[in-house]
Amino acid sequence: MLHYDALQTVSVVNRMTSVDGVGAEKYHFYHFYTLIRSYFILLFIAEKHSLYYIYVGLSKPVNLPGIYQFSAMGLLDDRQIDSYNSEEQKKIPRQQWMKDKMTDEDYWEKGTQSRKSKEQWFNVNVIFLIKHMNQSESDLHVLQWRTGCETEQQESEVNFSKGVYEFSYDGDDFLLFDDEESQWVASVDTAALRSKRKWNNLPKLNTYFKGYLEKECVDWLNKFREYGNEELRNASPPDVHMFARKSTKDKSKLKITCLATGVYPRDVMMNIRKYRTSLPENETESSGIRPNHDGTSQMKKSVEISKDKEAEYDCFVNHRTFKEPIIITWGN
């Protein structure tokens, strides 16, 4: 099998040295090859999915709209699916399909009671940490807890890939559970070390944590994804744009940007290409996949080029909602 990079090089040489005959045929073959290759890459790449629950407790009220002394939320693939806060004190759905599918009132009542008990736990422990660290109670301090799991799906097979159970305090890592080793890992703080030693001596508790992350969490993730699949099937394909602006670093250069927004699910393939050859990752600047306010995502890649060097650039984007890749050409 030909190495992909080698095939890219051959195609560029053929395009630059011949516009008809064998060289042109090789160029058109390569263009067809890249389209087919991107389709199969997207088809066979493992889908990644996640379910996380995030809890945030403040040491005192801040009297700002939308910020509560205690709040909690569930996130499925970075989309909020439920919420709770210390003012409403009720677990409520944040997606229409959660309202439609999770109709058992017992589910929401038990969820509310669970969040209330966690709120009390946070109130006690944030005060404990303030006193332990000899901090002022008049200052604002923040205790956070994140727990959840990630899976990879290839065709119909779903496999656990990662479990997270971690605490942070005032923005610093405090204590986390190593799912593979079934052991707690602590920061250098003595309170964290004390909790680590205590919890590591409770093997039954750690077995429960491991089982929750690898089995129960995954089961809920799969169930929620099944319930939300109708929304996924009706999702609009992402919008793709390509534009150029003057470089802020070098006035003799332009910054070409490829933007895909409204991406859902969040897995997307994007390349900036020169003469239909993908530029190396180390030559482009990527934003990574970032969330939009509506629960979709966006991704942006850029490259700086000389104004006086003519070349053909394009933005190549593929997504599972596309029938075929979108290619937007920009000519210098």
Return the structure tokens found at 278: 């993908």
Q: What is the pLDDT of residue 323?
A: 87
287, amino acid identity:
S
Q: Do the Cβ atoms of 141 and 126 come closer than 8 Å?
A: yes
Low-confidence ranges of the chain (pLDDT < 50): 1-24, 26-28, 30-31, 35, 38-39, 41-43
Measure the CA–CA gap between 199 and 55, rounded to whole angstroms.
Answer: 20
Q: Do the Cβ atoms of 37 and 30 come closer than 8 Å?
A: no
Distances from the Cα of 240 to the Cα of 260, 268, 301, angstroms: 4, 11, 12
Q: Which residue has the tokens 């053909």?
A: 312
Q: What is the pLDDT of residue 13?
A: 32
Measure the CA–CA gap between 80 and 62, rounded to whole angstroms.
Answer: 23
CATH code reported for the domain at 47-233: 3.30.500.10
Nearest alpha-carbon partner for 52 in 144, 160, 147 = 147
Neighbours of 223 (CB within 10 A): 13
- Write down the domain spans for the chain: 1-44, 47-233, 236-332
Q: Which residue stretches of the chain are H helix? A: 4-17, 21-44, 96-101, 105-132, 190-200, 203-211, 217-233
Return the structure tokens found at 91: 């677990």
Q: Which residue has the tokens 């099937």?
A: 233
**pTM score over 0.75:** no
Render 200-212 in DSSP notation, one character per residue: HT-HHHHHHHHHI
Q: What is the pLDDT of residue 296?
A: 83
Biggest alpha carbon–alpha carbon distance for the chain: 80
Cis before residue 265, ω within 30 degrees of 0? yes
Neighbours of 159 (CB within 10 A): 10
Checking DSSP bridges between strand 312-318 and strand 239-246, what pairing results, if any? unpaired
Q: What is the pLDDT of residue 234?
A: 67
Q: What is the pLDDT of residue 163?
A: 96
The angle subtended at Cα 254 by Cα 248 and Cα 256, nearest 5°, is 105
Instruction: Tell which CATH classification among 2.40.110.10, 3.40.190.10, 2.60.40.10, 3.40.640.10 matches the domain 236-332.
Output: 2.60.40.10
Encode pLDDT of 37-87 as tens digits: 544 544 455 678 899 999 999 999 999 999 999 999 999 988 899 999 999
Measure the CA–CA gap between 185 and 266, rounded to whole angstroms.
Answer: 31
Task: Give the rounded distance of the alpha carbon of 191 from its chain centre.
Answer: 31
Q: What is the pLDDT of residue 9?
A: 30
Measure the CA–CA gap between 206 and 178, rounded to whole angstroms.
Answer: 10
